[in-house]
Amino acid sequence: MKEKLTKIKLRDWTETRAHSSWQVFKIMAEFVQGFETLAKIGPCISIFGSARTKPGTKYYELTVDVARRLADEGFGVITGGGPGIMEAGNKGANLAGGRSVGLNIELPFEQHNNPYIDADKTINFDYFFVRKVMFAKYSQGFIMMPGGWGTMDEFFEVATLIQTRKFTQTPMICMGSSYWNGLFDWMRETMLEVEGNISPGDLDMIKIFDTADEVVAYLHEFYSHNKLQPNF
C-alpha cells in the first residue's frame, strides 16, 4: 500500500526544523546591523526603480538629477545598492557630496554593489523582509522610478504602510507620469469606483511628478509643517 504523499514529504519538513530555528539568529543579526548603521546617518530619501535601466537613458539621468538635488537639500539617499536606477540614485548623491547608502540584497543574478555607495554605508542582506523594514523605518520620503516586480512590491508595501498609518505620514512620489498613469487609472477606475476596495482619499497620498524641481518643492512644502523623524 502506498504512503500518502504528504506523509512522505513531512519527513523532509521535519529534517529542516533545526535549521529553521537557527535562522532566527541570522535574521536578528541583520536587524541589529541595519538599525545601528542607519540610525546614525540622519534624514534620508529612498529611491526605488529598475536594476535594468542603463546609464544615459531618460530615467537613469533623471534619477541622478533628483538624487543630486536631494543631497543639496541635506538629505541622504538610500537605494537597494545595485545597478540601474539604484546606481543612478547613489551616483547623484555621491556627485553632490551627500550621504549615499546602499541596502544590497544577495541574489543569484542581477545584483551587485554599485561603486557610488559610501564605504561605511553599505549593508548586505539575505532576507528581503529585513531589508524592507530598513527602508520603511529610516526613509523620510519614497521616490518610485519606473521598475519591475521588485519596484511594484516596494510601491504597494509603502502605500499600504502609509494608508494604514503604520508609520508617520511620509511623502511618496512616483516619477514619470507616462509610466505610472496607466496603473493609477486602473486603481481609480477599478479598485476604487467599480470594486470599492480602496477609499477615495487613498490615491491622494501619492504624487506623480516628472521633474526634480517638483520633487524638491513638494518636500519643502511637506516638511515645512511635518517633523523629520524615523517612521516608527
Mean pLDDT calculated for residue range 111-127 = 90
The pLDDT, as a whole number, for residue 4 is 63
Single-letter residue type at 57: T
pLDDT at 9 over 80: no
Distance CA 209, CA 190 (A): 23
Pick from 202, 191, 189: nearest CA to 159: 202
| pLDDT tens digits for range 52-93 | 999 999 999 999 999 999 999 999 999 999 999 999 999 999
| pLDDT tens digits for range 211-225 | 999 999 999 999 999
Report the topology of domain 5-223: Rossmann fold (3.40.50)
The pLDDT, as a whole number, for residue 17 is 64
Q: What does the domain layout of the chain look like in residue ranges?
A: 5-223
pLDDT at 185 over 50: yes
Distance CA 204, CA 32 (A): 35
Distance CA 103, CA 23 (A): 20
Q: Which three cell numbers stand for residue 26?
A: 541570522
Q: At residue 103, what are phi and psi to the nearest 5 degrees?
A: -105, 90
Task: Identify which has the larger pLDDT, 227 or 95.
Answer: 95
pLDDT at 146 over 50: yes
The pLDDT, as a whole number, for residue 220 is 93
Distance CA 168, CA 198 (A): 20
Q: What is the percent of the chain where pLDDT is above 70? A: 90
Mean pLDDT calculated for residue range 117-128 = 93
The pLDDT, as a whole number, for residue 2 is 54
The pLDDT, as a whole number, for residue 230 is 81
The pLDDT, as a whole number, for residue 105 is 87
The pLDDT, as a whole number, for residue 80 is 95
Mean pLDDT calculated for residue range 6-35 = 78
The SS3 of residue 48 is: strand
The pLDDT, as a whole number, for residue 1 is 46
pLDDT at 35 over 50: yes
Residue 51 contacts residue 145 (beta carbons within 8 Å): no
